[in-house]
Amino acid sequence: MTNKYNVQLITDVNGKPMPQYYDETEGVMKPITRDNGEITGDVNANVSFPESQNINGTVSVDNFPKTQKVEVTNQKEVQDVNVTNQTTSVDVNNFPELQDVSDAQVRSELEQIKATQSQILYKLNNSITTKNEGDKVEEIELLPRKLRTSSENAFMLDIPKNVKRWIILLRIYSVSGDFAEGEGYSTLLIRQNEGNQLYVVARTKPSINQGNFSGNIYTIGTDVIEFNDSDRYLNVSDTLIPDARLRLEIEGSFGEGQGIDCDAVAYYIY
Protein backbone atom coordinates (compact mmCIF):
# COMPACT_ATOMS: atom_id res chain seq x y z
CA MET A 1 0.00 0.00 0.00
CA THR A 2 1.38 3.40 -1.01
CA ASN A 3 0.49 7.07 -0.51
CA LYS A 4 1.02 10.35 -2.38
CA TYR A 5 4.77 10.10 -1.73
CA ASN A 6 4.72 6.78 -3.64
CA VAL A 7 6.28 4.95 -0.73
CA GLN A 8 5.17 1.86 1.08
CA LEU A 9 2.87 2.50 4.05
CA ILE A 10 3.51 0.74 7.32
CA THR A 11 0.69 -1.64 8.34
CA ASP A 12 -0.11 -3.64 11.46
CA VAL A 13 -0.61 -7.41 11.68
CA ASN A 14 -4.11 -6.96 10.31
CA GLY A 15 -2.89 -5.08 7.24
CA LYS A 16 -4.25 -1.71 8.43
CA PRO A 17 -2.08 1.44 8.17
CA MET A 18 -0.44 2.52 11.43
CA PRO A 19 0.08 6.14 12.64
CA GLN A 20 3.09 7.26 10.61
CA TYR A 21 4.83 10.19 8.97
CA TYR A 22 7.02 10.75 5.90
CA ASP A 23 10.75 11.17 6.53
CA GLU A 24 11.86 13.49 3.70
CA THR A 25 15.55 12.82 4.38
CA GLU A 26 15.33 9.04 4.05
CA GLY A 27 12.31 9.04 1.72
CA VAL A 28 10.38 6.47 3.72
CA MET A 29 7.36 6.34 6.03
CA LYS A 30 8.18 5.99 9.72
CA PRO A 31 5.83 5.03 12.56
CA ILE A 32 4.85 7.43 15.30
CA THR A 33 6.00 5.50 18.41
CA ARG A 34 5.46 5.81 22.13
CA ASP A 35 8.77 5.47 23.95
CA ASN A 36 8.93 5.84 27.76
CA GLY A 37 5.93 8.17 27.81
CA GLU A 38 7.19 10.35 24.91
CA ILE A 39 5.84 10.69 21.37
CA THR A 40 8.25 11.60 18.57
CA GLY A 41 7.36 13.15 15.25
CA ASP A 42 5.30 16.19 14.10
CA VAL A 43 1.61 15.67 14.86
CA ASN A 44 -1.30 17.59 13.28
CA ALA A 45 -4.38 15.57 14.19
CA ASN A 46 -7.00 14.86 16.84
CA VAL A 47 -5.10 12.62 19.24
CA SER A 48 -6.20 11.23 22.63
CA PHE A 49 -3.39 11.13 25.18
CA PRO A 50 -3.10 9.98 28.80
CA GLU A 51 -3.69 12.59 31.52
CA SER A 52 0.06 13.33 31.70
CA GLN A 53 2.05 13.19 28.45
CA ASN A 54 5.20 14.81 27.04
CA ILE A 55 5.02 15.80 23.38
CA ASN A 56 8.01 16.48 21.13
CA GLY A 57 6.82 18.25 18.00
CA THR A 58 3.93 20.53 16.98
CA VAL A 59 0.34 19.98 18.15
CA SER A 60 -2.43 22.10 16.54
CA VAL A 61 -5.70 22.37 18.52
CA ASP A 62 -8.28 24.04 16.25
CA ASN A 63 -11.43 24.13 18.39
CA PHE A 64 -10.24 25.50 21.76
CA PRO A 65 -13.04 27.85 23.00
CA LYS A 66 -12.23 31.56 23.38
CA THR A 67 -14.21 31.95 26.63
CA GLN A 68 -13.56 29.52 29.47
CA LYS A 69 -15.67 28.85 32.55
CA VAL A 70 -13.60 29.44 35.68
CA GLU A 71 -14.90 28.59 39.15
CA VAL A 72 -13.73 31.04 41.84
CA THR A 73 -13.75 28.95 45.00
CA ASN A 74 -14.02 31.85 47.46
CA GLN A 75 -16.96 33.57 45.77
CA LYS A 76 -20.66 32.76 45.91
CA GLU A 77 -21.07 31.93 42.23
CA VAL A 78 -19.20 30.85 39.10
CA GLN A 79 -17.90 33.74 37.00
CA ASP A 80 -17.49 33.95 33.20
CA VAL A 81 -13.89 34.80 32.42
CA ASN A 82 -12.91 36.01 28.97
CA VAL A 83 -9.21 35.36 28.35
CA THR A 84 -8.29 38.22 25.99
CA ASN A 85 -4.53 37.78 26.26
CA GLN A 86 -3.42 34.59 27.95
CA THR A 87 -0.05 36.03 29.00
CA THR A 88 -1.05 39.40 30.41
CA SER A 89 -4.74 39.91 31.24
CA VAL A 90 -8.08 38.36 32.12
CA ASP A 91 -11.38 40.18 31.45
CA VAL A 92 -14.04 39.26 34.05
CA ASN A 93 -17.44 40.02 32.51
CA ASN A 94 -19.94 39.51 35.34
CA PHE A 95 -18.08 40.05 38.61
CA PRO A 96 -20.63 41.34 41.20
CA GLU A 97 -20.55 45.10 41.79
CA LEU A 98 -21.39 44.75 45.49
CA GLN A 99 -19.21 42.73 47.85
CA ASP A 100 -19.73 41.89 51.53
CA VAL A 101 -17.94 44.35 53.82
CA SER A 102 -17.12 43.13 57.29
CA ASP A 103 -15.86 46.40 58.76
CA ALA A 104 -18.55 47.63 61.17
CA GLN A 105 -17.70 51.30 60.78
CA VAL A 106 -17.96 51.15 56.98
CA ARG A 107 -21.30 49.39 57.27
CA SER A 108 -22.56 52.08 59.66
CA GLU A 109 -21.54 54.86 57.28
CA LEU A 110 -23.24 53.09 54.36
CA GLU A 111 -26.44 52.69 56.36
CA GLN A 112 -26.41 56.40 57.23
CA ILE A 113 -25.97 57.30 53.55
CA LYS A 114 -28.93 55.07 52.68
CA ALA A 115 -31.01 56.69 55.41
CA THR A 116 -30.24 60.19 54.16
CA GLN A 117 -31.04 59.17 50.59
CA SER A 118 -34.32 57.66 51.75
CA GLN A 119 -35.30 60.89 53.49
CA ILE A 120 -34.42 63.02 50.47
CA LEU A 121 -36.28 60.73 48.04
CA TYR A 122 -39.34 60.73 50.25
CA LYS A 123 -39.47 64.51 50.37
CA LEU A 124 -38.90 64.78 46.62
CA ASN A 125 -41.67 62.29 45.86
CA ASN A 126 -44.10 63.56 48.50
CA SER A 127 -46.98 65.72 47.32
CA ILE A 128 -46.11 68.47 49.81
CA THR A 129 -44.28 71.30 48.06
CA THR A 130 -41.41 72.63 50.16
CA LYS A 131 -39.91 75.19 47.82
CA ASN A 132 -41.52 77.40 45.21
CA GLU A 133 -39.92 79.86 42.85
CA GLY A 134 -38.54 82.76 44.88
CA ASP A 135 -38.56 80.89 48.23
CA LYS A 136 -35.66 81.35 50.61
CA VAL A 137 -34.45 78.47 52.79
CA GLU A 138 -32.48 79.01 56.00
CA GLU A 139 -30.80 76.13 57.85
CA ILE A 140 -30.71 76.28 61.67
CA GLU A 141 -28.68 73.87 63.81
CA LEU A 142 -30.85 72.71 66.70
CA LEU A 143 -28.73 69.97 68.28
CA PRO A 144 -25.09 69.37 67.34
CA ARG A 145 -24.06 65.79 66.67
CA LYS A 146 -22.89 63.89 69.74
CA LEU A 147 -23.52 60.70 71.73
CA ARG A 148 -26.42 61.38 74.11
CA THR A 149 -27.72 59.43 77.10
CA SER A 150 -30.28 61.92 78.46
CA SER A 151 -33.07 64.18 77.22
CA GLU A 152 -32.31 67.64 75.82
CA ASN A 153 -34.17 70.74 74.56
CA ALA A 154 -33.44 72.77 71.44
CA PHE A 155 -35.00 76.25 71.37
CA MET A 156 -36.23 78.24 68.37
CA LEU A 157 -36.80 81.76 69.65
CA ASP A 158 -38.11 84.91 67.98
CA ILE A 159 -39.01 83.09 64.77
CA PRO A 160 -39.54 85.63 61.96
CA LYS A 161 -43.20 86.15 61.14
CA ASN A 162 -42.63 85.72 57.41
CA VAL A 163 -41.59 82.05 57.74
CA LYS A 164 -44.14 80.02 55.79
CA ARG A 165 -43.04 76.51 56.62
CA TRP A 166 -40.61 74.53 58.79
CA ILE A 167 -38.90 71.21 58.18
CA ILE A 168 -37.27 69.69 61.26
CA LEU A 169 -35.02 66.62 61.06
CA LEU A 170 -33.76 64.39 63.87
CA ARG A 171 -30.94 62.32 62.35
CA ILE A 172 -29.88 59.08 64.07
CA TYR A 173 -26.40 57.72 63.34
CA SER A 174 -26.23 54.86 65.84
CA VAL A 175 -28.12 53.44 68.84
CA SER A 176 -26.55 51.34 71.61
CA GLY A 177 -27.61 50.41 75.13
CA ASP A 178 -30.30 48.36 76.88
CA PHE A 179 -33.92 49.38 76.28
CA ALA A 180 -37.10 48.13 77.91
CA GLU A 181 -40.43 48.24 76.07
CA GLY A 182 -41.45 51.84 75.48
CA GLU A 183 -37.88 53.17 75.84
CA GLY A 184 -35.53 54.64 73.26
CA TYR A 185 -35.56 58.08 71.65
CA SER A 186 -38.55 60.25 70.75
CA THR A 187 -39.28 63.93 70.08
CA LEU A 188 -41.86 66.52 71.07
CA LEU A 189 -42.47 69.69 69.09
CA ILE A 190 -43.69 72.41 71.48
CA ARG A 191 -44.94 75.92 70.65
CA GLN A 192 -45.06 78.86 73.04
CA ASN A 193 -47.63 81.49 72.10
CA GLU A 194 -47.50 85.19 72.87
CA GLY A 195 -49.20 84.58 76.21
CA ASN A 196 -46.33 82.26 77.20
CA GLN A 197 -48.60 79.25 77.07
CA LEU A 198 -46.95 75.98 75.97
CA TYR A 199 -48.66 73.22 74.05
CA VAL A 200 -47.45 70.19 72.16
CA VAL A 201 -47.77 70.58 68.40
CA ALA A 202 -46.71 66.98 67.64
CA ARG A 203 -44.82 64.08 69.18
CA THR A 204 -43.47 60.69 68.15
CA LYS A 205 -43.45 57.30 69.84
CA PRO A 206 -40.19 55.91 71.30
CA SER A 207 -37.93 54.07 68.86
CA ILE A 208 -34.55 52.36 68.86
CA ASN A 209 -34.24 52.25 65.06
CA GLN A 210 -30.98 53.34 63.47
CA GLY A 211 -29.81 53.72 59.87
CA ASN A 212 -32.70 53.27 57.46
CA PHE A 213 -36.15 54.13 58.84
CA SER A 214 -34.79 55.98 61.85
CA GLY A 215 -35.10 59.52 63.23
CA ASN A 216 -37.97 61.96 62.67
CA ILE A 217 -38.95 64.40 59.93
CA TYR A 218 -41.49 67.12 60.73
CA THR A 219 -43.09 69.37 58.11
CA ILE A 220 -45.03 72.21 59.74
CA GLY A 221 -47.12 74.95 58.11
CA THR A 222 -50.62 76.35 58.11
CA ASP A 223 -51.20 75.02 54.59
CA VAL A 224 -49.81 71.54 55.27
CA ILE A 225 -52.07 68.51 54.95
CA GLU A 226 -51.90 66.46 58.16
CA PHE A 227 -50.00 63.21 57.69
CA ASN A 228 -48.34 60.64 59.98
CA ASP A 229 -46.26 57.74 58.67
CA SER A 230 -45.51 55.42 61.62
CA ASP A 231 -44.45 58.42 63.75
CA ARG A 232 -41.41 59.02 61.58
CA TYR A 233 -42.72 61.39 58.89
CA LEU A 234 -45.14 63.89 60.40
CA ASN A 235 -46.92 66.67 58.51
CA VAL A 236 -48.50 69.12 60.94
CA SER A 237 -50.93 71.91 60.07
CA ASP A 238 -49.83 74.59 62.55
CA THR A 239 -47.36 77.41 63.10
CA LEU A 240 -44.31 77.71 65.38
CA ILE A 241 -44.40 81.51 65.66
CA PRO A 242 -43.23 83.22 67.83
CA ASP A 243 -41.22 80.62 69.84
CA ALA A 244 -40.88 76.86 69.77
CA ARG A 245 -38.66 74.07 71.00
CA LEU A 246 -37.78 70.55 69.91
CA ARG A 247 -37.44 68.25 72.91
CA LEU A 248 -35.41 65.08 72.41
CA GLU A 249 -36.39 62.49 74.99
CA ILE A 250 -34.04 59.55 75.68
CA GLU A 251 -34.79 56.62 77.99
CA GLY A 252 -32.68 53.50 78.51
CA SER A 253 -29.67 52.06 80.31
CA PHE A 254 -26.28 52.97 78.91
CA GLY A 255 -22.77 51.73 79.55
CA GLU A 256 -19.50 53.41 78.67
CA GLY A 257 -19.44 54.42 75.02
CA GLN A 258 -23.16 53.74 74.56
CA GLY A 259 -26.04 56.10 73.82
CA ILE A 260 -27.91 57.79 70.96
CA ASP A 261 -25.56 59.29 68.36
CA CYS A 262 -27.69 62.00 66.74
CA ASP A 263 -28.16 65.60 65.67
CA ALA A 264 -31.09 67.83 64.68
CA VAL A 265 -31.57 70.65 62.17
CA ALA A 266 -34.42 72.93 61.14
CA TYR A 267 -35.11 74.57 57.78
CA TYR A 268 -37.06 77.82 57.69
CA ILE A 269 -38.82 78.39 54.38
CA TYR A 270 -39.75 82.02 53.66
pLDDT of residue 79: 54
Instruction: Kindly give, in sequence order, each residue whose CB lies less than 8 Å from that of residue 165, ignoring residues fewer than 6 positions away.
Output: 130, 219, 220, 221, 223, 224, 269
Beta-ladder partners of 177: none
Which tens digit of pLDDT belongs to each residue from 173-211? Answer: 999 999 999 999 999 999 887 777 888 889 999 999 998
Q: What CA–CA distance (Å, rounded) separates 78 from 70?
A: 7
Which tens digit of pLDDT belongs to each residue from 41-62? Answer: 555 544 455 555 566 666 555 6
Q: Among the CATH numbers 2.60.120, 1.50.10, 2.40.50, 3.40.50, which is that of 104-269?
A: 2.60.120
Which tens digit of pLDDT belongs to each residue from 99-144? Answer: 555 566 666 666 665 665 565 555 544 434 444 556 789 999 999 9
pLDDT of residue 46: 46
Residue 95 has pLDDT above 60, yes or no: no
DSSP string covering 138-156, please?
EEEEEEEEEEE-S-EEEEE
pLDDT tier at 4, thresholds 50, 70, 90: low
Residue 82 has pLDDT above 70, yes or no: no
Q: Could you tell me the residue ranges of all domains in the chain?
A: 1-59, 104-269
The closest of 243, 266, 155 to 192, measured between CA atoms, is 243
